[in-house]
Structure formats: C-alpha cells, structure tokens
Chains A and B, each alone.
Chain A
C-alpha cells in the first residue's frame, strides 16, 4: 500500500478545483493509495478499513476471496471510505485520462459522504483512528481472555444489524427535542385539541380566522394571548421537553444484562460497544447505495466531459463509462439507475415539472413540450443528495416519465415446461410496479425490539415487528444462542411464521409430476400467518405457537 505519485496527486487536486466550481463540497484533505489485488482481497472483509479489529471470520473471507479471485479475477477501479480525511484505493497506476474520470467519481462519493444528512453521525469521528484504538483494545483483551473474545465479537455481530440507526440519527438531527414545533402547529394540533378541547365549530372558526389573516394585516397571536394568557408559557414548556434516544437491543443488553454486570465479564461490554459503533458507522452507506453510486457516476460523466485535460480520450472514456453505467437488458445496475435518475430529476426540475401545473396536465404532448425554463436543476439535485436516502429517492422520483424515457420494465421469469427453459418476459411497464420492484431490493433489516412487558423473571423478551416477511428460520438458533450468552438468561423471541397448509406441499411436488393428475391452480392461496414464540434456554431452542 503506497500513496499515489506527486504527479497523480496533482491531477486529483486539479479535479477538486473543478468539482468545487460545480457546487460539490468536501474537505480539502484526501488520501489516495495504490493497492495490490492481494491488499484488496485482504481489506475487503474489513470493509476496507485497514485498522479494523482482527476477527477470524475476516480471515475466512480472505481465504475464500483468494479462491474467488483465482476463479474469477476482477479488479475494481476504486474504493472510497468515509473517513477523515477520506481514503480512496486504486488498483494500479492508471493512465492520466482514466485517473481524471476515476477521481471525479471518487470526489462524487466524498461529496456524498460529507453532505448527505444520513451520514451526520459519522461526521465527527475518523473511523480509521477509532478503529485502530479498538483493534488495540481487542488485541489486548485477546491476550488475556483468548478465544472468548472472539465469541463476544461473534455474538455482538449477531445483533449488530439491529442497531437503532434511524432513532439515533433522528435524535442528532432534532437536537434531542421531540419535534420542531412551530407556534402555529402547537396552537392547532395540541393547544386547541388536547389542552382546551374546543368544539369542532370553534376549531374551524379559528382556521378561517388564520387563513383570513395570512396577508399579515394583523398578528394572529394577539387575540390568542389576550384570550389565553397562559398560551406562551405552555408553548415554551412543550418545546423544552427533550427526549432521550430510544435504546436498541444492544444498549438494553449492555445496561440490564445481569451477566455483563459481573466483574469478570465487564470487558465484554467494550467488545459489544466496538461492534455496535462499527456497525452504526456503516448503516448510512448500506441505505444509500443507489444514490451514492448514481451521484458519483453523474459527476464523473458531467465533469469529465467538461474537462479540457482529456482531449483525445473521449472514445476511451465512452468505452469505460458505458461498461460501468449501461442499463442491463435484464437485471439491475445501481450505478446506472442512480445516474439516470439524477439526470432525470435535473431535467424535470429545469423544465419546472415538479409543479401543480405540470401534474394537472392531461395530454402527453403537452407534458413533453412543457418547459418553464426554471433551470434550477443543478441546485435541486444538490438538495436531493443532501436530504434523501435510497428509499425516499426511489419512492419520490421514479415516475412514469422516467420509466418511459429509458424504456424500463419489470422483467418476469417463468418456467416453460414444454421447452424446459426459463422464459423472461416483460411483466410490467408501470412506474409503480418498477418502483416497488426496486424498493424490494433495498436493505431493510427486521425491526426487533425489547418488549419490557415480557421481560419478567430474568427473561429477555424480544418482539419482531412483522412486516409481511418471516425471519430466516435457519439463523434464529445461533443468533439466539449468542443473545442468551450476552444476556446471561433465557431469551424469548416473538415473530410470525406462515401457516403451511399440507396441500401446498403436495401441490409443489405434483407440479413436476404429470402422473399425479393434479389440476394446476392458477390462484395461489392466501398465506395465513401465526405468531410464534421462540424460547432459548441453556442453548436449547424451542418454539411454540402463541
């Protein structure tokens, strides 16, 4: 691992200036390293953090990564990590024109890391530094406790996808207050309804009075204060309530586990904390893949084409760029999708399409020709990259115009028995279906929380909030063995499972067996769900219906 040459660093610094001219913002300092394939394979299990703590699962991944590389060699152009300063890795000394393209891409990522609100909780720490301290602590513990450190890591990692990321982020962004409450909202939502319990008639009268006074002729609140002298005081009281962040399972265990409270087990708490913090750090990254890649691809294309240093390499660029950002005939490419969606948003905003006028237009031709010359697209997409994550990005901006423009569709796959083949067909060209198909691919860990009502007699009672998807049953046992170990007592998990009708099983077998003469049902049965309770006690798992 070595830093790039001064010449290449010069190219990077030049790229930074041009990127800033177009509105990207990022720290001055960045680090660029050249790494070998071997380094890459060894770094990737550690999520590219060279200083991450050692753990045997990483070693297993390295060994299988080496095997994988032997079978299918492939080299990424770049990898960027969200550290201070941001570190990026490159595979080799590329030609200058390619470096220009890659650097713009990397700067897109860095800009995204450092401006997107979902990363707010990562802005004040440098992960490499923190990880180094953690690594040393774990190495020290390992010298004392041996392999039990690895069990502690394993069991903590078993629940590290359940970190309360959104709640923590919410707490940071709201500065600890419950909500940003304006005086108006307080008056209408809380004061009139919950404190004064005014009649519907009076409530509507107040709304009319508010709307009438919107031109600012008189102060709306004057009359209120004269009628209710206590109003200001109550408003102040309401806004001063701050909430503690809600605790996730990990924190609950740290604070309440009788096992961890024993002196000889105190060290485990620091291991759990390290695992939790590392996981929290990567939460925003998993939730902004399409945006982050799309944003970086958008800027490498945009800035590269405007860069005079690369004259003569347009065709080389076109080849590399197409390989990265082409939309596959069947399948998904987050780079390509994100890039096109950002371009689409900019175009729509430039023409002023995010407006009621446009929405109410009925005719296609009128929609296509619609243009209000707002040219506010550049600023608009900067806003989008600041405030959205993959879900809101996809959910808000995939519209029929986008799907039609890029001739996108949901591709279905079905078995054609006479031909013994899988058939791919166009299942739907509707934006809503396409949107839902993408949303189904997004990262969404189950919501499992501690249910205080069930936590009696030393039991840790977990409740899985059911979202029409069961938990992967194979993983439940080992995960619960881990939680039981950290908790030091029995663990219960409430979750939902489908009721398996016997008929379904035979029907599946019969599908392949024409001899069984079963009529194929066109309508799949409605699935019924039942609540199940998994009980882990003394490393034995039982389950029963609730």
Chain B
C-alpha cells in the first residue's frame, strides 16, 4: 500500500509534467466528549468529470434543499427544527473568559496528526522555518544535562574550573609568591580541587507560541469560503505546531456581530453561518483576553483572521483601532480574505479600509493580508500561508 509521502511525491511530479496537483489534505473530525475531538488527517482527491452542478438557483433565500419525510401532519406544519449553531453548555455572555483549563491545546488528539501535517507542510511544501523571536518561558518540562558541578568526583573533568580552584587554593596556602610569574609545577593539588560536571535536571526553555484563530461565521460566509478559511487555519496551526515543537497554545474565536470564544477546534471548525458581520468585535475580544490574562509577557502571539471581507462598518474605524492596539504585542497578524466568486474584481470592505489606512505598509513586518478566491486549491492556500508568515 502506498504511503502519504509517496502520494505527495507523485503529486509534486505532476507539476513537473505540466498538470495541476490533485491531492488535498483532508480532515475528518471525530467528535469526542469534553472537547477531546480527534482530527484525522487523510489525503483526499477529486476526480473531475463533466457533472451537473447541484446548486439550486431559483430558490428563495434562506430555503434549503427539500428531501423526503414520513409522518402525520398537514402541509405547512413544522415538524422540527435544528439550531444553526449548536449551543454550548454555558451562556453566550461569558464566552470570553472560560477561565483556567482553557488553552489546553496540548490535550487534543489533533496534536499528533497535526504535527505530522506540519512536518509535511514544512518539508514538502517548503514553508519557511520560523525565526526564534527570543521570548522564553519556563515550562514544567525537564531535560538532563551535564551542567552541575561537583568537587572530587564526577563524570567529566571541568579543566578550566579545576585550574581556577587550584590557583585559589595555592594563593590561600601562600604557595604563589608572585602572581605575575606563576610556576605551575610547584602547585599543591588536593583531590577536593578537582571539579567535575555531573548530570543534572534542568528546566527546559523554549519559545512558546500562542495563536488566536479568528473566523467570521456570519451569514455571508456559507459554503466554500468557510471551507477555505478553515483549511488554511488547520494548516497554519499544524505548521506552527511543528515549528514550536508542539509548544503551541491555541484560542479560537468566532464572530458575527459579536465575538465569542469557543473551547476547541471542532467547534471552531463546525459552527455554521449565523447573523451579520462586525469584524472589530473579534479583534477587541483578543485584545481583552491578552490584557486580562497578561499573555503578552510570556508568549509569541499570533493572530490569524479569516473572513470573506464583508463588514457592516464600511470605514473599519473600530477595527483599525483594535488592530493598532494589537500590534503592540502581536508577533504577527495575518488576515486572509476569501472572496466569493460573485465579488469579481471589486474590493471587499475589509480589503478597502485596510489598504486605505496604510497600516499594511507602515507595519509591514507585523501585519499581512492575503486575498484569495473561494475556489483556491491547496497549493494556493499554502502560498497564502507563506505570505501571511513571511
């Protein structure tokens, strides 16, 4: 049986032969209890043929596809309903701070698979490696290293330290009359002066990333746009996971006209379209969280936002304010705008006001924007990632 690596290798060769790549990295989400969703990474491919499009064009807005049914009732009777977004246990209002226990990204089974995906992305798709931004954080992880010193016995003789010790002893003994002219052959050497290095338990220092994923799930985000955003965010997440040796914490935020934090990737991934769009709410929520929890001190903070570019606030004043605030601490803000195909060559609201503000040029190292079409394929999405993290 062929492996994933061989498939990807074959796919790369397609490009050399002048055909488009066909393999996409697919995800199967296995819902688990208590947020322990399992994401299984699998390759997928589509065999293109001439087929009828399933779209229904002449439907009233807000009307879904009809299907069959059985049971009593008269025409027009409502037989059931399904919430557009599944409710969480707690109320909407306090969604912002779920307190301790949040950010346990490390618990998800998603980790191991996503780490593999990140490896594939870094190696096979030549995504760049990340620069270490230098912030360190103590973790409850230890490594063993020959760092402790011990006099008399040990594993490796620390020659420099031993020599210093011997000189000190001999000065104390009055054995060195002239410090300008030391005769080492006359040294008196005690076994206690021999300094060795021994194994010791060390706390590990590593740079640590905290990633905020922000997604617009307003009414206009239906279908492919959401898929594309989520695809890109899964890959980004996987890539960061690999880059930071799994030391990545994630927070997920969804917004329509109000932003809320959800506890895990599954909810982030699966919540369906809802109301209108106010982009600033998501950025504001991130700023509030960072401030309240003093996260800026300990983390490299990344913020990635996916949207279709629609915003009720045409000027984007509030959004720009929040972004300015965010740039004080964030290592990178990446905004992906996935355009509906009906947008055509017009600019979306978010694109317009971001460009007009000049923020992209002024802080070109902190904020990046990528605009793609809703039909973007994996290689385009990966290209977008490169742009966002470059």
Which one, B52-60, B135-143, B284-292, is touching chain A?
B52-60
CB within 8 A of B66: which of A410, A469, A522? A410
Interface CB pairs A-B, < 8 A, 22 = A60-B43, A64-B42, A328-B70, A415-B62, A420-B85, A421-B84, A423-B80, A424-B79, A425-B76, A426-B74, A426-B79, A444-B52, A445-B51, A446-B51, A472-B50, A472-B51, A505-B343, A511-B219, A512-B219, A512-B276, A513-B312, A524-B59
A64-B43, A162-B50 are contacts. A407–B70 as well, Cβ < 8 Å? yes
Q: Is A196 an interface residue (CB 8 A)?
A: no
- Evaluate contact between B61 and A474: CB separation under 8 angstroms: no
For the complex, would chain B's binding face be called helix, strand, loop or mixed by DSSP majority? loop
Residue-wise, chain B 14-34 has the 8 Å CB interface mask toward A (1 for contact) of: 000111100100101110000
| With A419-B81, A428-B75: A437-B50 Cβ-Cβ less than 8 Å | no
Docked-complex contact A332 and B67, CB < 8 angstroms:
yes
Question: Which residue of A has the minimal Cβ distance to B11?
Answer: A56
* A470 and B70 form a contact (CB under 8 A): no
CB closest chain-A residue, reference B54: A472
Provide the residues of chain A in CB contact with B38, threshold 8 Å: 70-71
Report Cα–Cα, A474/B278, bound state, in Å: 31
Choose one: A406, A474, A509, A522; the contact of B70 (CB below 8 Å).
Answer: A406
Question: A306 at the A/B interface (Cβ < 8 Å)?
Answer: no
User: Is A72 at the interface (CB under 8 A from chain B)?
Assistant: yes
B68–A434 contact, CB under 8 A?
yes
Instruction: Please tell me if the beta carbons of B30 and A60 are within 8 angstroms of each other in the complex.
Output: no
A64 with B44, Cβ < 8 A, contacts A416-B81, A437-B66, A524-B58 known = yes
Is the C-beta of B107 less than 8 angstroms from some C-beta in chain A? Answer: no
Contact B28 A472 (CB under 8 A): no
Nearest opposing residue in chain A for B31, CB measure: A71
Contacting pair A421 B81 (CB below 8 A): yes
- Residue pair A59, B2 in contact (C-beta under 8 Å): yes
Tell me how far the C-beta of A500 lies from the nearest C-beta in chain B, rounded to whole angstroms: 7
Whether the Cβ atoms of B79 and A512 lie closer than 8 Å is no
Residue among A331, A337, A413, A445 with the highest chain B CB neighbour number at 10 A: A413
Minimal Cβ-Cβ distance residue in A for B83: A421
Say if the beta carbon of B163 comes within 8 Å of chain A. no
User: In whole angstroms, how far apart are the Cα atoms of A423 and B218 in the complex?
Assistant: 19
Interface residue? B88 (CB, 8 A): no
B72 at the A/B interface (Cβ < 8 Å)? Answer: yes
Evaluate contact between B70 and A409: CB separation under 8 angstroms: yes
Contact-size category for B: 35 or more
Contact of A513 among B57, B276, B342 (CB under 8 A): B276
Tell which of B10, B49, B82 has the most Cβ of chain A within 10 Å.
B49
Q: Which of A57, A64, A472 lies in contact with B52, CB distance below 8 A? A: A472
> Does the CB pair A422–B82 fall under 8 Å?
yes
Tell me the minimal C-beta distance from B299 to chain A in angstroms: 32
Nearest residue, chain A, Cβ from B69: A411
Q: Are B4 and A63 in contact (CB under 8 A)?
A: yes
Chain B residues closer than 8 Å to A59, beta-carbon distance: 1-2, 7
Known interface pairs A72-B30, A151-B19; A474-B375 also in contact (CB < 8 Å):
yes
Provide the A417-444 mask, 1 if CB < 8 A to any CB of B, else 0: 1011111111111000010011000001
Q: Which of A159, A423, A437, A511 sits near B78, CB closer than 8 Å?
A: A423
Known A-B contacts A70-B30, A421-B84, A469-B52; A438 and B68 likewise in contact (beta carbons under 8 Å)? yes
Q: Which residues of A contact B220 (CB under 8 A)?
A: 508-509, 512
| A327 contacts partner chain B, Cβ-Cβ < 8 Å | yes
Interface hit among A295-303, A313-321, A476-484: A476-484
Residue of A nearest to B78 (CB): A425
Chain A, interface size category, equals 35 or more
A48 at the B interface (CB under 8 A): no
- Given A411-B66, A445-B51, 10 new contacts (CB under 8 A): A157-B49, A329-B80, A330-B79, A409-B68, A410-B69, A411-B68, A414-B62, A416-B81, A423-B80, A470-B55
| In the assembled complex, B94 has its CB within 8 A of some CB on chain A | no
Chain B residue contacts of A408, Cβ below 8 A: 68-70
A412 within 8 A of B: yes
A481 to B20, CA, bound (A): 10
Question: CB within 8 A of A476: which of B47, B50, B340, B342?
Answer: B50
| A414-B62, A472-B52 given; A56·B10 CB < 8 A | yes
Complex contacts, B46 vs chain A, CB 8 Å? 475
Select which of B30, B59, B78 is within 8 A of A424 by beta carbon. Answer: B78
Complex: A478 Cα to B23 Cα, angstroms: 13
Contacts of A287 in B (CB 8 A): none
Given A70-B30, A429-B75, A507-B81 contact (CB < 8 Å):
no
Q: A413-B63, A422-B84, A426-B79 are in contact. Are A475 and B49 (CB under 8 A)?
A: yes
Whether B50 lies near A464 (C-beta < 8 A) is: yes
Are A60 and B60 in touch, CB under 8 angstroms?
A: no
The complex places the Cα of A160 from the Cα of B23 at a distance, in Å, of 21
Q: Residue-by-residue, is B256-270 near A (CB-CB < 8 Å gives 1, otherwise 0)?
A: 000000000000000
B249 at the interface (CB under 8 A from A): no
Q: Which residues of chain A have C-beta atoms less than 8 A from B312's C-beta?
A: 513, 515
A62 within 8 A of B: yes
Given known contacts A56-B10, A471-B53, A524-B59, is B69 in contact with A409 (CB within 8 Å)?
A: yes
A74 within 8 A of B: no
Question: Which of A406, A417, A445, A505 contacts B62 (CB under 8 A)?
Answer: A417
Q: Which of chain B's residues have a CB closer than 8 A to the CB of A525?
A: 58
Contact in complex: B29, A71 (CB < 8 Å): yes
B65 at interface (Cβ–Cβ under 8 A)? yes
| B64 cross-chain contacts in A, Cβ below 8 A | 412-415, 422
Contact in complex: A412, B63 (CB < 8 Å): yes
A429 CA to B72 CA, complexed, in Å: 10
**Residue B101 interfacial (CB < 8 Å):** no
Q: Does B71 reach chain A (CB closer than 8 Å)? A: yes
A68 engages B28 (CB within 8 Å): yes
List chain A residues, Cβ under 8 A from B67: 330-332, 410-411, 413, 437
Task: Using known A-B contacts A60-B45, A70-B30, A515-B312, determine if residue A425 contacts B79 with beta carbons closer than 8 Å.
Answer: yes
Which residues on the A side are within 8 Å of B375 (C-beta)? 474
Contact mask A312-352 → B, CB, 8 Å, 1/0?
Answer: 00000000000000011111100001000000000000000
Identify the closest chain B residue to A160 (Cβ): B49
Expressed in whole angstroms, the minimum distance between the Cβ of B271 and any Cβ of chain A is 12
List CB contacts (< 8 Å) of A506-546 with chain B: 507-509, 511-515, 520, 522, 524-527, 539
Q: Least Cβ distance of A119 to chain B in Å? A: 23
Contacts of A99 in B (CB 8 A): none
* A428–B74 alpha-carbon span in the complex (Å): 8
